[in-house]
Each structure stands twice: as C-alpha cells, then as structure tokens.
A and B are shown apart, each in its own frame.
Chain A
Amino acid sequence: GQQVMQIPQYQHVQEGEDFTTYCNSSTTLSNIQWYKQRPGGHPVFLIQLVKSGEVKKQKRLTFQFGEAKKNSSLHITATQTTDVGTYFCAVNTGNQFYFGTGTSLTVIP
C-alpha cells in the first residue's frame, strides 16, 4: 500500500518554542490531510492541501504542500500546552486513507 513517512516520531518542546512535523511520500499525491489526536481521544481533521506549493494557516499552525506534491509539513509557532497530542498526515488514494505514523508532541510548561 501507499507509504507515508512521518518524522519525527516524538518531539518535546518548551512552551513557547516552535514545532514542525514532516510527511514524505515516494509518489506524487493528489492531496494530503492533517489530523490531531489528543491523548486518549480520536483523530480530528485539521486541514486538507490540494495544490502544489499550497500554504494554509490556522492561527499559529502553518501547513505546506511541497511543489512536487510529495511532501508536506505542519509548523506550530510558539507552542502552548493545548497543542499537546499526536499529529498525523493522511493521504487518500481514492478508496483508502493511508496515515503517517504520527508525531507525538509534548509541551513542557
């Protein structure tokens, strides 16, 4: 099946520091989605990127889709304790979703 590599697997940051997680695919993607899962919770959709080079912002979160549509990143500026959780990228092949392994973010107050 579709391989989506996500790094890093874990990230610990001091509150106020920035955070970035990356997703990489060996094949060109039609789109990519990002989800957040709080500890003990279920994944919640954040955003979808479709266009080459697309950049979207949600408050302190910035999402990018690579020019070749093979990679994507999620950047959080000035993390807060409410940002704690695991962030997943996901790609859709028409019938199925393939999720990255996720990046678990810990924010130290």
Chain B
Amino acid sequence: DGGITQSPKYLFRKEGQNVTLSCEQNLNHDAMYWYRQDPGQGLRLIYYSQIVNDFQKGDIAEGYSVSREKKESFPLTVTSAQKNPTAFYLCATDRGSNQPQHFGDGTRLSIL
C-alpha cells in the first residue's frame, strides 16, 4: 500500500549473519506488525507494536528481534538463531483494533 516502504526488496543472508529489514510508514498509524509468509502457510505473526517503545511477541518470535523507537519505523532483525529464515516478510500497519491492515510490498530473504 502507498505509505508503507519496505527495504530491501530482496536480501541474502550468509550463515551466522544477522540482517535487518526496514519498514517505514507515513500513514500515522499507531500499530505496526511483522509477518512471515511461507508457501501454503498463510501469514504468521512475528512481532507487533501498538505504541512507540513497546512491542509484543507473536506466534513465531524466536530468532527475531525488533525495535520501535519512532512511530514511523519498525525494523526487524533476523538473527543467526533463526535457522530457517528463507521466506517472504511483510510489514503491516493499522489504526487500531478491528481496523484493516495495510501492507508493504515485502522483502524476500534467502540464505546464501
């Protein structure tokens, strides 16, 4: 959706390396989310943040970390502890509970 920028579009990770995926939004939405999408498994929630300086684990947070220092930014770090990081990562925002989610274009992460 316009207003949510994810970068890079493609990312390659070497063994033992941490990589950071960027998500920036200018929609002034309070809530931001990170999802992982694997073929045939839909979207699974990694982390979410309802407010600056606060975030919560989703169902598959192990091997990932996030920060929310600014309302506009919610970067996701895929650490070396995540043994199977190859996936499509989607960042989303919304205005609050029960509101539609808006998605960025995603980042495709692969292992070298």
Contact = CB atoms under 8 A, between A and B. Distances in A.
Given A96-B58, A100-B42, A101-B42, A42 B90 contact: yes
B101 interface: yes
A92 interface: yes
A46 B33 CA distance: 19
A43 B43 contact: yes
Contacts of B90: 42-43
Interface residues of A, number: 25
A30 B98 contact: yes
Given A43-B103, A96-B58, A88 B42 contact: yes
B29 to A, nearest CB: 13
B1 interface: yes
Nearest to B33: A97
Contacts of A96: 45, 48, 58
A99 B105 CA distance: 18
Interface of A: 1, 6, 9, 30-31, 33, 35, 41-45, 48, 88, 90, 92, 94-102
Interface of B: 1, 33, 35, 40-45, 48, 50, 56, 58-59, 90, 97-98, 100-106
25 contacts: A6-B42, A9-B40, A31-B98, A35-B101, A41-B105, A42-B1, A42-B103, A42-B106, A43-B103, A44-B1, A44-B103, A45-B101, A48-B98, A88-B43, A95-B50, A96-B45, A96-B48, A96-B58, A97-B33, A97-B101, A98-B45, A99-B35, A99-B44, A101-B40, A102-B42
